[in-house]
Amino acid sequence: MNRTHNNGELRITDVNKIVELKGWVAKKRNLGGLIFIDIRDKYGITQIAVKPENPNYEIANQLKSEYVIYVKGTVIERESKNKDLPTGDIELDCIELKILNTSLQPPLIIADNTDALEDTRLKYRYLDLRRPCMQKYFITKSKITQAVREYLCSEDFLELETPILAKSTPEGARDYLVPSRLYEGEFYALPQSPQIFKQLYMIAGFERYFQIARCFRDEDLRADRQPEFTQIDIETSFLNDTEIQTIVEGMFKHVFKKVLDIDLKTPFRRIKYDDAMNTYGSDKPDLRFGMELFDCTNLFNHIEFMDGVIKGITVKNAEHYTRKNIDELTNLAKKYKAKGLAYLRYQDNTLTGSIMKFLDEAKQKEIIDTLKLENGDLVLITYGKLKIVQISLGALRSFIAKKENMLDPKRFEFAWIVDWPVFEWSEEDNRWYASTHPFTAPKDECLQYMKTNPEKCYANAYDIVLNGYELGSGSLRIYNQDVQKLMFETLGLTDEDIKNKFGFFTEALKYGTPPHGGIGMGLERITMLMTNTDNIKDVVAFPKTQSARDLMCESPSSVDEKQLIDVHIDVRKQ
């Protein structure tokens, strides 16, 4: 009672063969006595015909959606062919039919188009995952990981494991804690990334490490975040930043060819962080379209309320933008803390807009010439603090591109964003934070500014971005213990902090640490972009909700008191 074929492979050339299939009842139709059954598995769908005189007719009649069946039959040519189905030229004339298992009526339709609520889909995830589009996401994800491994192993990388029961570290997101049974009042922590362990692998001399590694962050979730996620994690010794980037480019080239049959052009573009912010208003610019930011401080700084930096973008063919549309854009800019949004339209060779009263004829001509305006252009201008101007225009740029269908899902525009600032000032905490993590190597020429002018320090750090998403973040690491100490001090860590939190690691740096660097890339993001979905839950088989709950397992859940006693904890009284 084996199957001879899957449900996606029978063709007209198989006619007259006797075959055996297994799978789920996708559909059953009773056409005036003749019963048609669509049998489905992950490979496809095949039609089965059972005539009233067939001894299996009674069984066929009992079948309901999602029953698991075995069928033996003769492949015959269909009378009315189905061009939409790879197996649409044939059907099976049923010889034998068996029910392997029954099914209740599923609470959601097992088809690409479903109107089920997300909660229902998550609760009955095992049914949701039966939908062919979901199957495709995970087939692609598996292919991506295998292609990554193939490439990295061919480049002499070793796949090496790092602990999940690790240690709580400061800096960065909140840790998930695991109380210890053997050490009362002590805790393991789930790793936010394998960062320290992969650096230790370099100190240990493994030279080329990778891992497709689970990471954990107890943060409030956004649509593209999950409490646990998977990172393609790489670390190398003795290579410079360009050499590491070249390996990653080779990896993506291989993955895209293998999974999507797309030839990526390498090397990828390199854009300095400051330039990306200036030109695209984003540190993860979408490069599938232009609409670049331009500086127009000199054009407009005669207008009193437009202080600070003045920058703009030009929307082409924007005749259809109504006052309401522009209000919407203004609100979006304000969401990013812009003081306001001025606009100018150029239509019928005439300039109109919100700041016309400040623009005499000469100024108007200067604007038209300088900005090389064409009829139909809409210029959006904002002003104030540089970073706010950049980010709010960047947000407008992305919003408009999406709205105007300028985002070709079949184009993949990679870039490296390089030369990141080492530090970020937190107004809130009144202190410097590490932009990425405290192991990122500042550029040699910046070391002199570490303590005096942290804002002048740029790092040997590089992000890889694709179509407006950050895929991953990497850097050369600090391998000199004195530099590491300087870094910790700039971050305001006391000697005791350092000793408690990173003691063993700063110790490790003293024993012949090689120059090293690497990168970590989000597997879910990569899969989302390669499968063209925008919901991370589509590429995580058993995801948590926005509030970190597994609706299927009903986890987290309460546990037996004995389990708490075993690990010496109590639920805290309010």
Shortest distance in whole angstroms from residue 165 CB to a second copy: 5
Residue 551: CB minimum distance to a second copy, A? 9
User: Cα(176)–Cα(173) distance, rounded to whole angstroms?
Assistant: 10
The least distance separating a second copy from the CB of residue 244, rounded to whole angstroms, comes to: 13
For residue 169, the number of C-alpha atoms closer than 13 Å in the C-beta half-sphere is 24
Instruction: Tell me the angle at which helices 495-508 and 195-203 cross, rounded to the nearest 10 degrees.
Output: 40
Q: Which of 96, 218 has the CB closer to a second copy?
A: 218
CB of 225 to a second copy, least distance (A): 14
Residue type, position 392, single letter: S
Find out whether 411 and 404 touch, Cβ atoms under 8 Å.
no
Q: Is 16 left (phi over 0), alpha (psi -120 to 50) or beta?
A: left
Q: Residue 192 or residue 392: which is nearer to a second copy going by CB?
A: 192
Within 8 A by CB and 6+ apart from 83, the residues are none
Q: Closer CB to a second copy, residue 267 or residue 514?
A: 514
Distances (CA, A) of 206 to 11, 157, 460: 51, 9, 22
Give whichever of 176 and 346 is closer to a second copy, judged by the CB atom. Answer: 176
Contact assessment for residue 269 and residue 415, using Cβ atoms and an 8 Å cutoff: yes
DSSP state of 442: B
Closest approach of Cβ 497 to a second copy, in Å? 11
Q: How many CB atoms are closer than 10 A to CB 434?
A: 19
Nearer to a second copy, 367 or 493 (CB): 493
CB of 276 to a second copy, least distance (A): 29
Query: Which residue's CB is nearer to a second copy, number 240 or number 448?
Result: 240
Please say which residue, 408 or 566, places its beta carbon nearer to a second copy: 566
Q: What is the torsional sign of CA 85, 86, 90, 96?
A: negative
For the CB of residue 26, give the shortest distance to a second copy in the complex, in Å: 11
- Supply the minimum distance, in Å, between the C-beta of residue 180 and a second copy: 4
The phi, psi pair for 230, rounded to 5°, reads -120, 135
Q: Residue 110 or 465: which CB sits closer to a second copy?
A: 110
Write down the least CB distance from residue 331 to a second copy, Å. Answer: 31
Cα angle 87, 93, 95; round to 5 = 130
Asked whether the beta carbons of 517 and 241 are under 8 A apart, the reply is yes
| Residue 295 or 507 having the CB closest to a second copy | 507
Spacing of C-alpha 511 from chain mean position? 37
Tell the residue number behind the tokens 């303590």, with chain if given.
451
Residue 164 or 371: the one with the smaller Cβ distance to a second copy is 164
- The minimum distance between CB 445 and a second copy, in angstroms, equals 17
Sequence-ordered list of residues with C-beta below 8 angstroms from that of 186, at least 6 positions apart, any chain: 179, 180
Instruction: For a second copy, give the closer residue by CB, 140 or 301.
Output: 140
At residue 487, what is the residue type? M
Distance set, CA 8 to CA 40, 90, 279, 368 (Å): 8, 11, 49, 60
The C-alpha angle with vertex 276 and arms to 387 and 313, in degrees rounded to 5, equals: 70
Complex with a second copy: residue 366 or 550, whichever CB lies closer: 550
Residue 81 to residue 67: CA distance in whole angstroms: 25
Q: Which of 510, 511, 538 is nearest to 524 (CA)?
A: 538
Least separation in angstroms between CB 166 and a second copy: 6
Least distance from C-beta 182 to a second copy, angstroms? 5
SS3 per residue for 145-159: HHHHHHHHHHCCCEE
